[in-house]
């Protein structure tokens, strides 16, 4: 079956891998009608590995791919929001794991440093980046006067294969997890709430847990760190 043009993605070796890049011909305002974007794909606590673009895998997959996709869609979202007079919403799927990033938050000078790599800290770094990205994007959109919000959410602990690189924990989660962890629909609830619920209209630059505003850690609230990450991400995705 032919995939409708607005939903077709083109895999390119020259693009940030393993992320799909929208073909430029498909993001013209007369083709894509876009009011909602959810940045959801991710990996967790992987052994050290570089992506096809030679960037540490968790940072590339969990943050840079979403950052790039958002920027590719943003002008279309702005145009759609303006022409439809409806609010656009961008939601980044973060995690409480952002609290367990490296001590300095983002290791800008050591993103690809294998010698100092810690799989859980690197995961925390990528999830911290999701919050900082949403916060800085929210600030920029508000400054422009654009009717698009940007928020981040923690979905909760869910029974998935996210821990597949840690066999014991993965088995434990999949056997006992069904009794104490959220199932997939429950895990998606906060993301859907922030993306769709009327009560969240106009709310931007916030972090949500269990469909309520929550307080992220001090690094996640650091506006200067968010700006530095934005510029760093632009350079890493060749958008300078």
User: Can 121 be counted among the known catalytic residues?
Assistant: no
Q: Which residues of 206-231 are buried (b: 16+ CB within 10 A; e: fewer)?
A: bbbbeeeeeebbebbebeebbebbbe
Of residues 7, 33, 102, 117, which has the active-site annotation?
117
Instruction: Determine what percent of the chain falls in helix, strand and coil, rounding each to the nearest 5.
Output: 50, 15, 40
Cβ–Cβ < 8 Å for 169, 163: yes
Residue 230: name the closest of 26, 55, 96, 70 by CA: 70
Measured between alpha carbons, how far is 204 from 106 in angstroms, rounded to an integer?
23
How many Å apart are CA 127 and CA 121, to the nearest integer? 10
C-alpha torsion angle, residues 148, 226, 105, 205 (rounded to 10): -30
CA atoms within a 13 Å half-sphere pointing along the CA-CB vector of 86:
12
Q: How many CB atoms lie within 10 A of CB 82?
A: 13
Compute the distance between CA of residue 234 and CA of residue 90 in angstroms, rounded to an integer: 18
Residues with catalytic roles: 117
């Amino acid at each position: 079956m032919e995939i409708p043009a607005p939903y077709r993605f083109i895999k390119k070796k020259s693009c940030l891998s393993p992320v799909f890049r929208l073909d430029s011909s498909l993001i013209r305002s007369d083709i894509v009608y876009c009011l909602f974007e959810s940045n959801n794909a991710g990996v967790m606590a992987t052994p050290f590995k570089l992506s096809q673009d030679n960037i540490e895998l968790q940072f590339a997959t969990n943050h840079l791919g979403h950052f790039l996709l958002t920027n590719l869609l943003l002008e279309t979202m702005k145009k759609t929001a303006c022409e439809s007079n409806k609010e656009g919403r961008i939601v980044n799927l973060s995690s409480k794991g952002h609290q367990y990033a490296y001590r300095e938050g983002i290791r800008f000078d050591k993103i690809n440093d294998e010698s100092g790599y810690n799989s859980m800290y690197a995961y925390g770094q990528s999830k911290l980046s999701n919050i900082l990205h949403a916060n800085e994007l929210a600030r920029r959109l508000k400054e422009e006067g654009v009717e698009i919000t940007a928020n981040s959410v923690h979905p909760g602990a869910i029974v998935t294969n996210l821990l597949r690189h840690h066999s014991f924990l993965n088995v434990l989660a999949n056997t006992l997890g069904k009794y104490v962890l959220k199932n997939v629909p429950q895990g998606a609830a906060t993301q859907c709430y922030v993306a769709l619920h009327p009560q969240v209209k106009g709310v931007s630059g916030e972090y949500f847990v269990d469909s309520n505003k929550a307080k992220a850690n001090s690094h996640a609230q650091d506006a200067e760190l968010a700006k530095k990450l934005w510029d760093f991400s632009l350079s890493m995705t060749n958008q300078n």
